[in-house]
Amino acid sequence: MIVAGLLSLWDKLVCVAALVAMIVIAFSLMVRVVTVGHAVRHLGTVILSAILLIMLPPIILSIWSTLSFGQQAGIGALAFLALLFLGAVKTKRPRKE
């Protein structure tokens, strides 16, 4: 199944990103850019983020697969409208002087 392949690829990608972040934190600790307390806090953040990023996609995919097509289309339309609204809000308008 293609979803299982994508999930294993996602797991590997998250693990590599977490490993790179831990290496950067270790080098920063060796060069004394960060203190031990900050390094522990950053390592905890990296580990918790990696766990969440590995666990959330399968949960979301299982919920998505239980929805009917109409519900999926409605969520897609709401997401599209939200993206349009956010794009309209972020555009800078010239000031009138």
pLDDT tens digits for range 13-50: 999 999 999 999 999 989 988 888 999 999 999 999 99
pLDDT at 1 over 60: no
Residue 70 neighbours by CB under 8 Å, 6+ apart: none
Give the CA-trace dihedral at 45, 23, 56, 85, to 10 degrees: 80
> Which residue is listed with tokens 């800078």?
92
What are the tens digits of pLDDT across the range 54-83?
999 989 988 999 999 999 999 999 999 999
Q: Which amino acid is at 61?
A: L
